[in-house]
Structure 1
Amino acid sequence: MLAGRILIIYASYGDGHLQAARAIRDALQRQGIEASRIRLVDLMAQASPLLNEVSRRFYMHSYSKLPTLYGWVYDRTRPMKHDSLFGGWLHSFGKEKLRRLLLTERPDAVVYTFPVFAAPASRTKAYPHVPTSAVVTDFDLHCRWVHPHVDRYFVATAELKTELVKLGIADRRITVSGIPIKPSFAELQPNPQWYAKYGFPEDRPIVLVMAGAAGVMPDVPEVCEALLEDKAVHIALVCGRNETLAASLRIRFQHQLAETGGRLHLFGYVETIHELMAIADCLVTKPGGITLSEGLAAGLPLFIYRPVPGQEKHNALFLHSKGAAQIARHPQELSAAIRSLLHNPIQLAVHRQAARALGRSGAADTVALDILQQCLIMEEASSPTHY
């Protein structure tokens, strides 16, 4: 039985890192770890609230308003070393906060779903070594994730494991777990009640369009208009927390909304997104690691619309290379690709199989069990030997 706590460190740059942290927390609780002994920490937000807010807003604006600049910075820093000037600066954030957390909480393990390792703080003389794990939340590897003070790496694919091995990380320290998602995606099957719950007919194709947690996918109105040209298609549009986007769409599509007899179903943030994915025939999305992992676990053909340079573009290209995703850059191109697939049952089945082949719905449990095993090994190593 573990005596201390487990710290899960995340960051609020997008929603995915928090979702992964929560999935791991829930998996630990399913293994019998009490909720009070698991602490989720937004390290940057707690260490420096003002700097966190400024940098978070800069990230969101550069990502959505200046994607070319964001992609250039991402690609230029992708091979960076942890001890480079820039790498060392990035990993210094939250150093003092983490040091205090380690000394006061005395955790048995530290898990990162965001690569801000605050490295020196985790190896102080005042506190012994704590098993440290990094859970990579994309299908692409930025070397910011690579650090000598990380004991275990959990990655989405065998290709990422190969990359880490080439960078000098021992094979035994890397687990191909997938990206942690909610357990509701395990063996997900359509439930007839969900069609009625969300107002969809069971005999019409459903295209699920997810604009992202912040609702920032571009050209959402134009995408909907192009999709609605197919009279058989119903659209489930999830706007996330972007209330402005939802309000503008309600005005623009007032005659096409489901409540007025149309085929456009509009949603805000959907906690039970697995239900919509289960009844959908395909998914249109921005290529965040969590949403893509959920779509793969649900066996959905993926359509990635205008991926921005950086990790999301690399995510899209990887899944496209595996036959699990198509990439479109214009609404009509997207609509034509979806129509072609929906009206070809054989190709639809092929794409579903490609998605399922990459899906790993049990990733959170894999991570949780490995972490607990590390803790057990450390506990046994520190226990006195009796003869």
Structure 2
Amino acid sequence: MENRNKVLIISMLSGFGHIRAGEALLDYAKENIKSLDAHHIDICDIDPELKRYAKIYEFLSKRFPILWDFSYKYLPVSLTKKIVSLGGSTKSGIIDYIDKEDPDTIIFTNVVIVPMFINILKKRFPKTVLAVLVTDYHAHPYYVFKDINRYFVGHEEVKEELVRLGVKQQRVIVSGIPINPRFYIKQSIPALKKKYETNNGFPVVLLIASFRLSVSKIVLLVRQILSFNPRVNLIFIANGNKRLSRIIERLFSKEKRLKIVLWTNKMEEYIKISDVVITKAGGLTVSECLAIKKPMIILNPIPGQEEHNASFVEKNGLGKWVKNSDEVVKVLPDLLGKDYTSNSIIKENPSETIFKELGL
């Protein structure tokens, strides 16, 4: 029987970005590296108790963002790692799963969980290569582990930050952040605009309603965009929020330039036809927009990593970071009609780079 290299990609749900990055790696491996035996898991599927970490993050970042900001900036890293490591001390089921898989390489797409397993992994799997994929455009001191063999980051700035924090330079690879391969497929924009009923000659603004705004402010923002001159089409993605979707549909039922989408698994098509994307600053969403060179308006990012992502976008001329929703229509004219196609700040095909650097 053929000996195949085994790769285990480990994610944990806390926001969808980590899962999407893991899926992107898996999709690339299955399509392009037939000699590789690759698996991707959300460890919460093995041990549902770990969902509490995701719930704590969601609770703090959305309900008490100031407290999350304080924790991110000022809580001692050694204390945080100790607390997380204790959470993994009883997770024998996950270790048993890894033992059964016996991977040659493990890639973590969520660095939060690394302290739970790093010590036992190095003892029980001393020959296994351990890698971390940083899914934001900033390096936090928490990311530094002496036993991680490779770090993969989205940009040279993140590599420089990790090196300053004490990671050896040769261990950090600027790969870009993996996104779904469908983003790289060339599609006919006129055909997509016809499919989504935005082929009326007006620019397309995509509003992904995943930020921390009240319903009344979101309604006002939709009204402001639809009243914007020159006219634009607005695609409103409610991110599964049925109540919000119904409210927007009821209030704007006569608007022919508004398309309401409750949920989609075709985000790449909506981004491709858009001229501007209004979103929060999750690392994967930012990477998806940058990959197909679409300017962003970053609205109300979560303190901590998302604010760093927003700063990265604005500093590199890839969009605007606005502090409140009233500013969106003020910066919209600066972004509409500009050509971003020559921007090459982001690496192409990060998944390919990652697997090549791992010798796979």
Would you say the 8 A contact 2:159–2:174 is kept in 1?
yes
Secondary structure, counterpart of 1:199 in structure 2: coil
Cα pair distance change 1:87/1:207, threshold 3 Å: same
1:139-178 matches, cutoff 5 A: 139-178=137-176
Which of 313, 338, 341 in structure 1 is aligned with 2:335? 341
Contact 2:190–2:199 (CA under 8 A) maintained in structure 1 = no
Asked whether the 8 Å contact 2:135–2:154 carries over to 1, the reply is: yes
Could you list the structure 1 runs, at least 4 aligned residues long, displaced by more than 3 angstroms after superposition. Answer: 1-4, 91-95, 187-190, 215-219
**TM-score scaled by length of structure 1:** 0.84
Which residues in structure 2 correspond to 1:237-252 (within 5 Å)? 237-252=236-251
For 2:347 and 2:219, how far apart are their aligned partners in 1? 32
Check the 8 A contact 1:2/1:108 in 2, yes or no: no
Q: 1:292-331 alignment to 2 at 5 Å?
A: 292-331=286-325
Q: 1:273 and 1:360, CA in 2 relative to 1: closer, same or farther beyond 3 A?
A: farther
Match of 2:347 in 1: 360
| Residue 190 of structure 1: how far off its partner (Å) | 4.8
The correspondence for 1:55, drawn from 50, 53, 56, is 53
Higher mean C-alpha displacement, 362-371 vs 193-202: 362-371
CA distance in 2, matches of 1:154, 1:308: 23
2:204 corresponding residue in structure 1: 206
**What corresponds to 1:369 in structure 2?**
356
- Distance in 1, Cα, partners of 2:257 & 2:53: 40
User: Could you say if the C-alpha distance between residues 2 and 67 of structure 1 is closer, same or farther in structure 2, counting changes exceeding 3 Å?
Assistant: farther
What is the CA deviation profile of residues 313-343 of structure 1, one whole-angstrom value per residue up to 9, with x for unaligned ones? 111012111111201123331112103432x
Is 1:42 equivalent to 2:42 in the alignment?
yes
* Preserved contact between residue 10 and residue 106 of structure 2 (Cα < 8 Å): yes
**Secondary structure of the corresponding residue to residue 179 of structure 1:** coil
| Aligned residues of 1:152 and 1:173 also touching (Cα < 8 A) | yes
Secondary structure in 1 matching 2:28: helix
Return the alpha-carbon distance in structure 1 between the equivalents of residues 209 and 327 of structure 2: 18
Give the 3 Å change call, closer, same or farther, for CA 248–159 of structure 1 in structure 2: same
Q: Show the 5 A alignment for 1:1-387.
A: 2-3=3-4, 5-33=6-34, 37-47=37-47, 49-50=48-49, 52-77=50-75, 80=77, 84-94=78-88, 95-115=91-111, 116-117=113-114, 118-124=117-123, 126-186=124-184, 188=186, 190-212=188-210, 219-230=217-228, 232-256=231-255, 262-342=256-336, 345=337, 348-349=338-339, 352-353=340-341, 356-371=343-358, 373=359
Conservation of the 8 A alpha-carbon contact between 2:46 and 2:94: no
What CA deviation, in whole Å up to 9, does each residue of 1:36-66 have, x standing for no partner?
x32222224523x23x333322321221121
Deviation readout 1:332-386 (Å, 9 max, x if unpaired): 31112103432xx4xx12xx257x3223341122112223x0x6xxxxxxxxxxx
SS in 2 for 1:254: coil
What are structure 2's unaligned runs of at least 5 residues? none
Which digits, 9 at most, give the CA deviation of each residue in 1:57-105, with x for residues without a partner? 232122112111111111114x72xxx2321222444453443223211
| Superposition RMSD in Å | 2.2
Count of equivalent residues: 351
SS at 1:140's partner residue? coil
Change in Cα spacing, 1:2 to 1:13, as seen in structure 2 (3 Å) is farther
**AA at the equivalent of 1:18:** I
Aligned mates of 2:45, 2:60 — CA distance in 1: 19
Partner of 2:7, secondary structure, is strand
- What TM-score does the superposition give when structure 2 sets the normalisation length? 0.90
For 2:204 and 2:225, the matched residues in 1 are separated by 11
- Per-residue deviation, 1:308: 2.5
Distance in structure 2 (CA, Å) of the matches to 1:191 and 1:2: 44
CA drift at 1:244: 2.5
Return 280-289 or 59-68, whichever deviates more: 59-68
Deviation at 1:143, TM superposition (A): 2.1
Tell me, in whole angstroms, the C-alpha distance in 2 between the residues paired with 1:178 and 1:315. Answer: 14
User: Would the aligned equivalents of 1:44 and 1:93 in 2 still touch at CA under 8 Å?
Assistant: no
Question: Are the aligned partners of 1:205 and 1:281 in contact in 2 as well (CA < 8 Å)?
Answer: yes
**1:382 aligned partner:** none
Identity %: 26
Once residues 291 and 12 of structure 1 are traced to their aligned partners in structure 2, the CA distance between those partners, rounded to angstroms, is: 15
CA distance, structure 2, for counterparts of residue 57 and residue 265 of structure 1: 31
Cα distance in 2 between the residues matched to 1:22 and 1:228: 35
* Long gaps (5+) in structure 1: 257-261, 376-387
Which one-letter code corresponds to 2:350 in the other structure? Answer: A
Tell me the CA shift for residue 2 of structure 1. Answer: 4.7
Q: Shift of the alpha carbon at 1:120?
A: 1.4
Equivalent residue letter for 2:51: E
Determine if contact 1:24/1:364 at 8 Å carries over to the other structure.
yes
Alpha carbons 2:154, 2:346 under 8 Å: kept:
no
Shift of residue 202, structure 1, vs aligned partner: 4.7
Contact (CA 8 Å) 2:179, 2:288: kept in 1 or not? yes
- Greater shift, 291-300 or 217-226, is seen at 217-226
